[in-house]
Amino acid sequence: YVLPRFTKAVPSALVAIIAMTAFAIFGHFDLRTVGDLGEIKQSLPAFMIPNIPFNFETLAIIFPTAFALSIVGLLESLLTSSIVDDMTDTESDKNKESRGQGIANIVAGFFGGMAGCAMIGQSVINVKSGGRGRLSTLVAGVFLMFLIMVLGDWVVQIPMAALAGVMIMVSIGTFDWSSFSMLRKVPLTDSIVMLVTVITVVATHDLSKGVFAGVILSAIFFVAKISKLKIEETSEEHAIKYIIKGQVFFASVQDFVKSFKTDEQTKKVILDFSEAHIWDDSAVAAIDKVVLKMKDQGIDVDLIGLNESSWKLVEKLATYDQPHRSVSNH
């Protein structure tokens, strides 16, 4: 927070790492360093073709892990793109970014490299240090190569505590603190989804599981919300008209079937779907059940107001004989 007030020519995170490394070396502190995690080879990787059998057995071993990594990498890259877009007030082409990431990971595999993706921490540091264009990405890669090949003996002495401190500050800067105040303003279901997602990520240390939990919970809340039908009954000359409002699908068919009541004096019923949409075969089966029940009671039934997609579904799946239908243009 101090150095950026004076200049952004030198990244404050880099200065902090250098200062803490020098402090640890000259202070003779026994700290865990980058070198303790593994050896850094000061050479470029060579091109290689993976020496594995290309068959379905190998695919069965590789595919689950590869699929999970691709989902996590894609999610984190898209999340990073959204954060950077907000910070720079720009709009990135996320499809192009995803394709580029996939191609880069395929090429990296032929050089013994691991799959990678956009990283929130590094990207935020980059933007806050003044790097807002493609050149900053290129410079970061070239400088990283320079560190490994030329300054590898120095890199291994960097204490992990210094890197952890930088990441903590990045996390603090990246966190949207206003989201706490929004918890009281947004719908309860949205707050529950957000909290469940965060708790799942923290508990499992797996972004994909957190996103999966959030998506499933959102889907459940969404289905519960749109499954509420509103059916209005009006009387016309010699007929009862029911105006169906809402989405007719597997989650709302029970309410749909129970909403129609007729008596011996009823001669004709009009089902108006001009404010409704029919989504699946369960909805068509429910319509069949209602219409056939009324026909068994000697009641003439007309379906009107079906939009084009609903009409096609009813025409394809319905089993009752309904000669009088009208199709709306909505």
d(CA 3, CA 49): 47
pLDDT tens-digit profile of 109-123? 888 888 888 887 778
The alpha-carbon radius of gyration of the chain (Å, integer) is: 31
Superfamily of domain 228-327: STAS domain (3.30.750.24)
pLDDT range class, residue 139, cuts 50, 70, 90: confident
Is a pLDDT exceeding 80 seen at residue 321?
Answer: no
Q: 80: closest CA among 231, 189, 203, 207?
A: 207
- Give helix 56-88 / helix 120-128 axis angle, nearest 10°: 30
Q: 283: closest CA among 241, 227, 230?
A: 227
Residue 291's CB is within 10 A of a number of other CB atoms, namely 22
Is a pLDDT exceeding 70 seen at residue 324?
Answer: no
d(CA 297, CA 192): 47
Under DSSP, is residue 278 helix (H, G, I), strand (E, B) or coil?
strand
pLDDT range class, residue 329, cuts 50, 70, 90: very low
Laid out side by side, the sheet with 300-306 consists of 230-236, 239-248, 268-278, 300-306, 325-327
Determine the pLDDT at residue 8: 67
pLDDT tens-digit profile of 155-170? 888 999 888 888 888 7
The string of DSSP letters for 182-248 reads HTTTS-HHHHHHHHHHHHHHHHHS-HHHHHHHHHHHHHHHHHHHHT--EEEEEEETTEEEEEEEEEE
More confident site: 176 or 288: 288
What value does the mean pLDDT take over residues 162-183?
A: 79
d(CA 116, CA 162): 23
pLDDT tens-digit profile of 261-297? 777 777 888 888 989 999 988 999 888 888 888 888 8
d(CA 138, CA 142): 6
pLDDT tens-digit profile of 10-53? 777 888 888 889 988 888 888 898 888 877 777 788 888 888 88
pLDDT range class, residue 326, cuts 50, 70, 90: very low
Say which residue the tokens 């807002």 belong to.
132
CA 218 to chain CA centroid, Å, is 11
Angle at the Cα of 246 (from 244 to 307), degrees rounded to 5? 75
Q: What is the dihedral of CA 162, 164, 168, 174, to 10 degrees?
A: 100
* CB-CB contact of 207 with 224 (8 Å): no
